Structures are given as C-alpha cells and as structure tokens.
Structure 1
C-alpha cells in the first residue's frame, strides 16, 4: 500500500447549518496533521457549530493524530461548540483511554447516536441522502 493510500482523508457525509458529519479515514499522524487541521478548520470557519467525526475507517492514530483531535476540540469548546467521535475502533478507543482523553473526546457507537446529543435544529439529515456523492474535502487527500 502506498503512503498516499494510507494518508488521512476527510470526506463530508452530511451537513446542515449547525453541523457537519465528516468521515475520517486512513492514518492520522504527523504526515496528515496540517492538512487535517486545515480541512476541519475550514468547516468551523464556514459556520458549522458542531463536527461529528465518523472514524470507523481511521486505521491508525498516533499521539500527533490525537493532538489534532484535541486541538479541534479546544477550538470548538472555546466557541461553545462540540466535536464528537463516532465508530471508534479498538485502537482509537485504547489510545483515548490510555491518555486520559476519553472524557474530552466522547466516542459514540454510531453517527446517529452522536447526532442525538445535539439539539434537533442543528442535526443534518442522517443517514445521508443517497444520491449525494461523498467527495474528499479539498486539500484533505
């Protein structure tokens, strides 16, 4: 597998004025941190109050990747907004537990469960509209 194929990508799955659901896939490490932070920062700057990160396809996350997730959480919390993780696998869940980050980055089993935490007026349609293609976010792949 090439390094390009393993690199973290971010794809928008569904959005509303108040929230965007993003699929994070690949490897979130030092090689992806700047692109990842720019991509998520763009969603925040475009006015999305909350970010739901579907991490079911995240195959690797090291301390630098965790730092990225915590940086996004810090930014959103300062604005009284949320970032929620959905579908974290065993490795990501263990990383959060071992670093004491589980309380800072709550993990929900599914995107639907994460969305249920938000006020109804901020929730985007879920599951996504079938005819809407999911495309990588510019600069995130």
Structure 2
C-alpha cells in the first residue's frame, strides 16, 4: 500500500497485528500535515500501536513536520505503543537535537535495529518476504 500527496509519499513496507513499518519519502511540512496525520491515524485506528518510520528518503522536515511526528508519538504513547524513526539523515537528526526531541523520537540506523526495540511478539517479520506479484 502506498499513498502520496505531491510532496510526500507514505508506503507500508510490512506489518503485523501490533506494528507497521512505513517508508516516508519526500517533504514533511505544513502542506502535507493533514495527509500525514490522517494516514498514520488510520493505521493506528486499525490496531497498530507501534510504528517504525523509515525516514531515509525524507528530504525535508520543518517544525510543522516535527509537530506531526510528536503528535503521532503522543497518540501511540496513550496506547502504550512507540514511534521509532529509522535512517534519519543529517538534517532531521540536527532538527531533533536542536529541539531537544531526541528522547521523545528515538532514531535507529536501520529498520531492523528499530524493530529490536519492540517486544518480540509485537514485531513483524523483517526483512519482509518479497511480493510474488511484484516484478523485479
């Protein structure tokens, strides 16, 4: 499943009953705020209380984007869940440090390392099996 606006794409890589791994690509700012929050809220409403966001391809995130990440973190925390970022680039990492958000939004180098932060029973299979319908 992949959805997008003109500047942001959210692709579900894998999931299980309690967790979803999503790739967030493009720019996360005011113009994408409603789309980002709506898409992730729907995934949480479907029962996922842990989200790992692969932000390797997130090329821009401003203060509004950071507020979106913090809002999703707040929602998941209320459900005893977690939000973990994987593969944050230099700019996003600097934004988290400058705003004192590194403890609220933990960043791991890879999705695999991020998933290790979750209870084993709540982790999807990683790496996911290749999709037989997808052409190489």
Please, what TM-score do these two structures have when normalized by structure 1? 0.89
- Distance in 2 of aligned mates of 1:81 and 1:70: 13
- Count of aligned positions: 130
Unaligned runs of 5+ in 1: 135-141
Q: Which residue of 2 aligns with 1:94?
A: 94
Change (3 A) 1:132 1:28: farther
Q: CA deviation at 1:132?
A: 6.0
Q: Which residue of 2 aligns with 1:137?
A: none
Please, what TM-score do these two structures have when normalized by structure 2? 0.92
> Secondary structure in 2 aligned to 1:60?
strand
Q: What is the alpha-carbon root mean square deviation over aligned residues?
A: 1.5
Runs (4 or more) in structure 1 with deviation over 6 Å come to none
- Distance in 2 of aligned mates of 1:79 and 1:50: 9
1:85-141 per-residue CA deviation (whole Å, 9 max, x = no partner) reads: 00000000000000000110000000000000111111111112111679xxxxxxx
Q: Which residue of 1 aligns with 2:110?
A: 110
Q: Which residue of 2 aligns with 1:85?
A: 85
Change (3 A) 1:129 1:35: same
Q: CA deviation at 1:8?
A: 1.2
1:48 and 2:48 equivalent?
Answer: yes
